[in-house]
Amino acid sequence: GLPLEDQALMFEYFAETLAATVRAAKSEGRYQEGMTVLRDVRVQVDARVTIHTDKATDAATDYVRLKVDDGLAWDTAVARRDEARRDLAAAGAPQDRVNKTGFWVAKRDWLGWKKPHIVLATEVAKRYSDARVTHYRVQRPYQVSSNIWPAHDLGDKYRLVKDDGKAQELWTWWFDTLLDHCLHGPNCQHKMAYGSCDVGSRIYHKHIVTGALLPVLHTLFDTVTNSRYGRNGKGHKQPPRALRCYVQDDPTRANGAAA
């Protein structure tokens, strides 16, 4: 076998690579602990129906519809920017690079609302494999979930805002407006035709089964797996998966199987 010194060197390399991968996943907002986790969002119970009661124990199984507010408030966005800047500074990044983590405004207005978009861009931790490429985690006022953009895409479409007052005004406008409106604007044709449109809205819904899951788990998986609902263009769909979140105005953690 390898000498102990070589084994230690290989293990150190593996550990550092794993740590770098985890740091990158966390900075990209996609690190999860083996299940779907609703983080940094406000969750309320929108509807609850008991669908099964175990005869032996009277334990109930409930269907729950969760109302999720995906908005990112201004104060939270500022805190994330400041934390990301501190991390970059601690890692020895030059000040001009640190300052690029911040609020960026689109160079063109969004036609639906005749206002430019604003995003929070925080530099993604670099892996060993792409250390020469700078990427940013991009979040919007109405979307805690993020996308990853290369630096050149961000610079081509957006400009850095140095005035927090101007950034706050635009950020708050989008945050408030898309609570009960869509990205299409006040003259949305879909909303006029069908009464509602949630494209780009802060609000979306999750459907879960919670409570006594074991008595109905087999039936639940069979029902969801065999249903045509939720399939993509190739006919594939995700199986039910575990979900964890904290419900607003309820100190308990909501756990369940997301259908």
pLDDT band at 246 (very low <50, low <70, confident <90, very high): confident
Query: CB under 8 Å to 106, separation ≥6 — which residues?
Result: 116, 117, 118, 157, 158
Q: What is the pLDDT at residue 128?
A: 44
DSSP reduced 3-state for 93: coil
How many residues can be counted in the chain? Answer: 259
Quick: pLDDT tens for 94-149: 999 999 999 999 999 998 999 999 999 999 876 544 567 789 999 999 988 788 89
Q: What is the pLDDT at residue 165?
A: 97
Amino acid at 184: H
What is the maximum span of the chain, computed from C-alpha positions, in angstroms?
Answer: 73
Q: What is the pLDDT at residue 161?
A: 96
Q: What is the pLDDT at residue 237?
A: 76
Asked if 122 and 101 count as a contact pair (C-beta separation under 8 A), the reply is: yes
pLDDT band at 204 (very low <50, low <70, confident <90, very high): confident
Spatial separation of the C-alpha atoms in residues 100 and 155, rounded to whole Å: 10
Tokens of 102: 């911040």
User: In this structure, what are the phi and psi dihedrals at residue 109, rounded to the nearest 5 degrees?
Assistant: -70, 150
In the block, residue with structure tokens 């007052």: 165
Asked if 113 and 177 count as a contact pair (C-beta separation under 8 A), the reply is: yes
Query: CB under 8 Å to 199, separation ≥6 — which residues?
Result: 182, 183, 184, 190
